[in-house]
Chains A and B, each alone.
Chain A
């Protein structure tokens, strides 16, 4: 990696600090603009107003907003995300530590599916332009692209759990593991168990996006395979496989590679609905539950992390672009 690129990366990281502070501030303001607070669940006649006030004091909700804000920023700066207002008041870091790897797993596997499946389909479509394969895959990918991922996930869930679904093709419809037997499985068995549970959520999260990548890849390949150097390669007697994969695909992948970083935040954000549908214990579920419970510390921490992932994704995208295209130089 060149010095210029390192300097560029460093500059981008420094620029991210005020950006993340802005995200934190905006999230704080939006949370407190929304009516209600965590004591909304105390809506019973047994709970006296004194107990409610006691709770608000303990959680620091009785402090003026600037004081609360200053406390947030200071604690975030020191890496302390505080305690959840609900759920036994666990450490937020513990909650995130449990959820983040699950979301990253789901997101990264979906990312692989999106790009591997999408690029493969795009290449076939370009090579067989206007043929039956191209037409069929175009219709299929447009149909998939039009479907909301969560709807596709729900339909798959209903189908797989129906009595008519073949036992031989059975797949788990919820969760991340088989809670009955996972603990007694071997390491390999546990891996397979998680992999089986990943199938439906990654299809829901990734298939529509794969269709989009396929369309994009098709266009890039078509642009490349009609270039003079490709005709030259064929004229030299190279095999068609070598021409496509060694020469054409490599250049067509340049803009596609830059999309890798951009899709990561899309997947992380899209995980909120997919994780709820499939009860996947990740950051999406955590954020969803925390917003409804007005669990401010968790919402702040998760939003901050999502923001950091977006920033990182954009940076990765730019760095990848420079890495794959020697013509790109960052000063």
Chain B
């Protein structure tokens, strides 16, 4: 047999090599990797314009319709890129002028007159007027529109159109009165004004929007990307044209893919960097990590309808039995702080002298023994009235929760509690934890409170039937605090109420507040001007700029 076909392997491999080299010959504009990059510390503003910034996130932007949006990606792209809000918020969530240039209250504070900026236009050329604000307001408050955050405007009773750029709202005193206006994008009355409110959810505007903000909508590819371009006509008084020419939001569901794409220069920013990738990013001189605090906290709900969790002393013991500092180190790679209550350091009124319950398994055992939980039969599991301390903990499938659940299971095993873990995705968990009969023993989750601290649905005695009233906790003293938080405007009184809110829940432990996670984003060093805080990842997007070498 001839050896000719064995030799056929070599030309084939050579041909393949040639093809690979030809295909790989141009990296495009991804930039260099591994070596030092040209990052000049002081670039004049006039030289900052240009380039395309690419951002990757796990979830697609669902819609540009604020009346149907609940996801963070949609809401922040509406508020910071495509549209303007009536007001902006500073880092303390105090209102700042934006579309509303000024406002003044009547003498009795039951009405506020708002003057709008004159000269802003929609991206189709129509002027932005008070009519758009009235339309947005009335639609937000209309139950038929189904706006999920209608409660933001509970204190706003009505509106009167004074002229094309002046409105007068009837209001009642409330804390964080303007919060809703810093979160709701103003929508075009000339496009949506004739659409029945119940049809807004399916109107094509959500996927083919016309904005009025610093960026214009260009295109959307479902499940893949949204593309925006800088609005050259955005008024300087409102911030002016963004530095970047184009902004692309890419959907990348996988953390490892995001990390690889960032390192390869295919994306410039990951809005959420997984703690598991921290060491890789820290070792890469082309990437920098952005640390910021957000409002969320991770927690365990103990169902007090189960006899074993009914006693606050038992719940405090469970909290002391769990090594929360260890969880922060092991799961969050140290990025987080042990939680005191639902209000974390992100809030200006957070009391930094508050001390979390310690990790003290011996004390936990003592407390449990004092209320009757002992290992009477010597099987290693505590029991009371012949009932073992045994329950099931639900957790969602994310790697973080699996690891937290495993640590908690081990910690509780050390004090004689038998905990089983059941993993359920959120859609399967929701019916169990929100149903009226609350079909769960315990579960762990992340919660993101509003700046308004309107948490009555979660804690108030008259909200026990609300789907998110997981704990069934009822304390009239807490109710009084929660009611006052919505009304009090004096900062010192407000701060006292916030502290009291945390203290009451820390004492009764309806939840074990695990920790406040620090948040990580990761960006290529050539992307400058990125700032993130509790207002959102995209709060500074109009100020982002790219080094010339990266354009």
Interface residues, chain A, CB within 8 Å of chain B?
Answer: 34-52, 54-55, 58, 83, 86-90, 94-95, 98-99, 120, 123-124, 127-128, 131, 133, 154, 157-158, 160-165, 167-176, 178-181, 192-193, 195-196, 199, 240-241, 244, 276-279, 281, 285-286, 288-289, 292-294
Q: Inside 8 A of B428's CB, which chain A residues have their CB? A: 34-36
Name B20-51 residues within 8 Å CB distance of A.
20-21, 23-25, 27-30, 32-34
Is B9 a contact partner of A124 (Cβ separation < 8 A)? yes
- B222 near A90 (CB under 8 angstroms)? yes
A43-B430, A158-B260 given; 18 more Cβ-contact pairs under 8 Å: A35-B430, A42-B70, A45-B466, A46-B151, A47-B148, A88-B65, A124-B5, A124-B9, A127-B5, A171-B24, A173-B260, A175-B261, A179-B227, A180-B52, A180-B248, A192-B23, A193-B28, A285-B223
Whether the pair A94, B222 counts as a contact (CB closer than 8 A) is yes
Which of chain A's residues have a CB closer than 8 A to the CB of B466?
45, 49
The interface residues of chain A lying within 8 Å CB-to-CB of B8 are: 124
Residue of A nearest to B224 (CB): A281
Interface hub of A42, A47, A83 (most chain B Cβ within 10 A): A47
Q: Given A98-B222, A173-B257, is A90 in contact with B148 using a C-beta cutoff of 8 Å?
A: no
Residue ID in chain B nearest A86 by CB atoms = B62
Residues from chain B with Cβ under 8 Å of A55 in the complex: 146
CA distance A105 to B74 in the complex (A): 30
Chain A to chain B contacts (Cβ below 8 Å), 20 pairs: A37-B427, A40-B431, A46-B148, A87-B60, A87-B63, A89-B68, A90-B207, A98-B223, A124-B8, A127-B5, A133-B6, A154-B256, A170-B27, A171-B23, A174-B260, A178-B266, A179-B52, A180-B28, A278-B257, A288-B253
| Bound CA span A130–B54, Å | 52
CB distance from B467 to the nearest CB of A (A): 6
Indicate if B454 sits at the interface (CB-CB under 8 A): yes
Q: Which of A168, A180, A281 counts the most chain B CB atoms within 10 A? A: A180
Cβ contact within 8 Å between A88 and B206 = yes
Whether A276 and B253, one on each chain, are in contact in the complex, defined by CB atoms closer than 8 angstroms, is yes
Cβ contact within 8 Å between A195 and B34:
no
Query: Which of under 10, 10 to 19, 20 to 34, or 35 or more describes the interface residues of B?
Result: 35 or more
Q: Cβ of B360: which chain A residues have Cβ within 8 Å of it? A: none
Interface residue B237 (Cβ < 8 Å from any Cβ of A): no
Which chain B residue shows the least CB distance to A59?
B201
Given contacts A58-B201, A174-B260, contact A120 B431 (CB under 8 A): no
CB distance from A188 to the nearest CB of B (A): 13
Contacts of A58 in B (CB 8 A): 146, 198, 201
A170 contact set on B, CB distance < 8 A: 24, 27, 30, 264
Q: Which residues of A contact B206 (CB under 8 A)?
A: 88-89
Partner of B250, one of A95, A131, A175: A175
Q: Which residues of B contact A (CB under 8 A)?
A: 1-6, 8-9, 12, 20-21, 23-25, 27-30, 32-34, 52, 54, 60, 62-65, 68, 70-71, 143, 146-152, 198, 201-202, 206-207, 221-225, 227, 246, 248, 250-254, 256-257, 259-261, 263-264, 266-267, 284, 424-432, 434, 448, 450, 454-458, 466-468
A-B contact count (CB 8 A): 235
CB distance from B399 to the nearest CB of A (A): 15
Query: Of all chain B residues, which has the CB nearest A127?
Result: B5
Chain B nearest CB, measured from A112 CB (Å): 13
A52-B60 CB under 8 A given contacts A128-B6, A171-B23: no
* Shortest Cβ-Cβ A-B pairs, 8 listed: A163-B34, A36-B427, A281-B224, A88-B63, A45-B457, A161-B260, A40-B427, A88-B206
Q: Residues of B contacting A50 with CB < 8 Å?
A: 143
Question: For residue B448, which residues in chain A have a CB less than 8 angstroms away from its CB?
Answer: 44
Q: Is the pair A160, B264 in contact by a Cβ cutoff of 8 Å?
A: yes
Report the nearest A residue to B3, measured CB to CB.
Answer: A128
A51 and B148 contact, CB distance less than 8 A: yes
> A180 contacts B54, CB within 8 Å?
yes
CA gap between A37 and B428 in the complex, in Å? 8
The winner among B250, B260, B284 for most chain A CB atoms within 10 A is: B260
> How near does chain B come to A52, taking the closest CB pair, in angstroms?
7
Cα distance, A289 to B427, chains bound together (Å): 12
